[in-house]
């Protein structure tokens, strides 16, 4: 595997980063970078950490990872998470600079503890903290319940002062969205599986409306809706396909049960990502009322279920 | 009447579905099965995720139908928590 960090890699340019991932030699990981200052979204850090977690440290090569941002990567815990010696000489600082270093979560209680400890690090106002907590909880539980990976989920987040934005990344190398969805629904390719996973009420756990006692098939739809309402980017990458939620057109909030009706980009034929990776940007200037988003989510969700029930194909009796 | 206080179990931000599952199986379902009225007390809980509320109450709809809402009261909910409960109870009834 080969990962290259360019000078800049954000959600808006995610395709460029992803297309450069090298998938040959899956038992090795070579990390390279642009030689000057390097700024990358936490999504790409956690993807790198997640890959590295499955590879022996002796097979990880960072000799070509030479850039002016090594201290920053050190503080974000990249080398620690990869299990390699850090080329940075700086002290690992307390994460009080409004970022959450790469953190590996493997179980439910670990996630709850992480969420409790994480919020103060970002120094957010109450409403903003609750929103971030909500998103990270739902994303983390998705991995723990659906990814089926012993390596768990990798989280990181960072505050960017210039844009007043929190950028969040979470990645795993589990079974991926398609393998999860096809347990209960037909999905011939990753794009179809991603579309279904973002549709309210669709879960790999069952094909029954209302879900199971533990899963509603709502988590990703809620996350996408909150991002849309706040006019935030969201990237979902699994298999060879990436869905990118783009900013909504106009000021009116219109949620759609079908993610393809949202302003989006779906890109296929990317290097295959075994698992799921999600990146989100939360612009703190425009955080809208959680309550009003919930009203729209409730109505859209219930309408989607009613629509599916109206269109349900009933089995026909066989007369012989 | 059975009252379940959530704050000591889930904290200010209710999101741990494993705790929701345990409460559902050990307390909520047996209480409704036994004909008791149920008060789920959210005092001090600021937010709850949809996943948590779903894991807590959705199975009650499956087992007892939407009339189960006649036997449950949700106490001291913030507006945020109310909205999430309304969402879950709405889609569970739509799914019936």
pLDDT exceeds 70 at position A96: no
Q: What's the pLDDT score for residue B61?
A: 94
Query: Which pLDDT score is estimated for A287?
Result: 64
Q: Smallest CA–CA separation between B1 and chain A, in Å?
A: 24
Q: What are phi and psi of A168, to 5 degrees?
A: -120, 140
Chain B contact for A115 (CB, 8 A cutoff): yes
| CA–CA distance, A118 with A196 (Å, rounded to integer) | 31
Q: Which residues of B touch A216 (CB under 8 A)?
A: 50-51, 54, 58, 88, 91
pLDDT beyond 70 at A315: no
Tell me, what's the pLDDT at A316? 72
Domain ranges of chain A: 2-310
Beta bridge partners of A266: A243
- pLDDT of B95: 87
The contacts of residue A316 (CB under 8 Å, 6+ apart) are none
pLDDT of residue A170: 97
With a cut of 70, say whether residue A314 has pLDDT above it: no
Neighbours of A86 (CB within 10 A): 17
Answer yes or no: do A137 and B62 touch at CB < 8 A. Answer: no
Q: How confident is the model at residue B2 (pLDDT cuts 50, 70, 90)?
A: very high
Could you tell me how many CB contacts below 8 A there are between chain A and chain B?
Answer: 104
Question: How many angstroms separate the Cα of A1 from the Cα of each of A24, A84, A123?
Answer: 5, 16, 36
Residue A94 has pLDDT above 90, yes or no: no
Q: Are A204 and A210 in contact (CB under 8 A)?
A: no
Cα nearest neighbour of B49 on chain A: A134
- Contacts of residue B58 in chain A, CB cutoff 8 Å? 210-211, 213, 216
Whether the pLDDT of residue A95 is over 60: the answer is no
Q: Which residues of B touch A108 (CB under 8 A)?
A: 16-18
| Number of residues written out for chain A | 320
The DSSP output letter for A26 is T
Which residue did the predictor score with more confidence, B90 or A316?
A: B90
pLDDT for residue A97 is more than 70 = no
Q: Which of residues 229-268 of A touch B (CB under 8 A)?
A: none
Query: Shortest Cα distance from B91 to chain A (angstroms)?
Result: 5
pLDDT surpassing 80 at residue A286 = no
**Predicted local confidence at residue A308, as pLDDT:** 87
Look at A237 and A89; give whichever has higher pLDDT: A237
Which of A12-16, A90-94, A152-156, A290-294 is predicted with the least confidence, judged by mean pLDDT? A90-94
Q: Residues A132-180: pLDDT tens digits?
A: 899 999 999 999 999 999 999 999 999 988 888 899 999 999 999 999 9
State the burial class of residue A211 (Cβ atoms within 10 Å of its Cβ: 0-12, 13-18, 19+): buried
Interval A104-111 mean pLDDT? 93
Separation CA A238–CA A235 (nearest Å):
10
- The model's confidence at residue A237, banded by pLDDT at 50, 70 and 90, is very high
**Dmax (CA) of chain B:** 33
Q: What number is the ipTM of this complex? A: 0.90
Angle at CA A81, nearest 5°, toward B17 and A238? 60
Q: Report the C-alpha gap between A298 and A178 in whole angstroms.
A: 26
The overall average pLDDT reported for chain A is 90
Tell me how far apart the alpha carbons of residues A125 and B28 are, in angstroms, rounded to a whole number: 35
Contact between A115 and B51 (Cβ < 8 Å): no
CATH topology of domain A2-310: Heat Shock Protein 90 (3.30.565)
Rounded mean pLDDT of A303-311?
87
Convert the pLDDT of each residue in B22-73 to its tens digit: 999 999 999 999 999 999 999 999 999 999 999 999 999 999 999 999 999 9
**How confident is the model over A257-276, as a mean pLDDT?**
96
Instruction: From chain B, pick out residues whose CB is under 8 angstroms from the CB of A298.
Output: 83, 86-87, 90-91
Residue A50, judged by CB atoms within 10 A of its CB (0-12, 13-18, 19+), counts as: buried
pLDDT at B96: 83
Contact A304/A200 with Cβ under 8 angstroms?
A: yes
Residue in chain B lying closest to A292 (CA)? B83
Provide the residue ranges of all domains of chain B, joining segments of one domain with +.
2-94
Which residues in chain A are closer than 8 Å to B16, comparing Cβ atoms?
108-109, 111-112
> B-chain residues within 8 Å CB-CB of A213?
21, 24, 55, 58-59, 62
How confident is the model over A186-208, as pLDDT tens digits? 999 999 999 999 999 998 888 88
Which residue, among B25, B87, B93, would best test binding to A if mutated, counting the most A CBs under 10 Å from its CB? B87
A286 in contact with chain B, both atoms CB, cutoff 8 A: no
Q: What pLDDT sits at residue A131?
A: 87
Nearest CA in chain A to B25: A213
Instruction: Verify whether the Cβ–Cβ distance A306 to B90 is below 8 Å.
Output: no
CB A214 to CB B92 under 8 A?
no
pLDDT value at residue A320: 77
Residue A299: partners with Cβ closer than 8 Å, 6 or more residues away: none
Q: How far is CA B70 from the centre of its chain?
A: 13
Is pLDDT of A65 > 80? yes
Query: Is the separation of the CB atoms in B62 and A210 below 8 Å?
Result: yes
Percent of chain A with pLDDT over 90: 68
């Amino acid at each position: 595997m080969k990962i290259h960090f360019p000078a800049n890699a954000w959600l808006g340019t995610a395709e460029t980063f992803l297309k450069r991932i090298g998938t040959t030699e899956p038992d090795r990981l070579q990390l390279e970078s642009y030689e000057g200052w390097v700024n990358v979204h936490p999504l790409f850090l956690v993807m790198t950490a997640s890959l590295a977690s499955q590879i022996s440290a002796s097979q990880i090569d960072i000799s070509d990872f030479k850039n002016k941002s090594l201290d920053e990567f050190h503080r974000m815990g990249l080398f620690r998470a990869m299990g390699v010696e850090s080329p940075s000489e700086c002290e690992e600082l307390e994460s009080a600079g409004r970022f959450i270093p790469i953190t590996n979560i493997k179980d439910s209680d670990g996630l709850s503890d992480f969420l409790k400890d994480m919020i103060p690090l970002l120094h957010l106002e109450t409403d903003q903290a609750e929103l971030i907590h909500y998103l990270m909880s739902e994303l983390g539980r998705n991995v723990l319940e659906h990814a089926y990976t012993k390596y768990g989920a990798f989280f990181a987040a960072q505050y960017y002062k210039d844009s007043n934005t929190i950028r969040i990344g979470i990645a795993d190398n589990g079974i991926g969205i398609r393998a999860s969805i096809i347990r209960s629904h037909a999905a011939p390719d990753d794009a179809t599986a991603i579309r279904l996973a973002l549709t309210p009420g669709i879960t790999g756990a069952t094909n029954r409306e209302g879900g199971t006692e533990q899963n509603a098939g709502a988590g990703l739809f809620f996350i996408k809706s909150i991002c849309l309402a706040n006019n935030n980017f969201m990237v979902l990458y699994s298999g060879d396909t990436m869905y990118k939620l783009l900013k909504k057109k106009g000021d009116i909030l219109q949620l759609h049960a079908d993610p393809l009706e949202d302003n989006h980009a779906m890109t296929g034929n990317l290097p295959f990502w075994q698992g799921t990776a999600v990146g989100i940007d939360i612009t703190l200037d425009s955080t809208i009322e959680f309550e009003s988003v919930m009203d729209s989510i409730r109505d859209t969700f219930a309408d989607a279920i009613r629509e599916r029930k109206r269109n349900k194909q009933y089995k026909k009796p066989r007369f012989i | 009447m059975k009252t379940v206080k959530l704050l000591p179990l889930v904290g200010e931000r209710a999101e741990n579905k494993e705790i929701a599952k345990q409460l559902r199986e050990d307390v909520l379902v047996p209480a409704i099965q036994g004909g008791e009225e149920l008060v789920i007390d959210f005092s001090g809980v600021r937010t709850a995720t949809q996943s948590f509320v779903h894991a807590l109450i959705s199975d009650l709809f499956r087992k007892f139908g939407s009339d189960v809402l006649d036997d449950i009261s949700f106490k001291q909910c913030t507006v945020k928590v109310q909205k999430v409960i309304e969402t879950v109870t709405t889609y569970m009834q739509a799914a019936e």
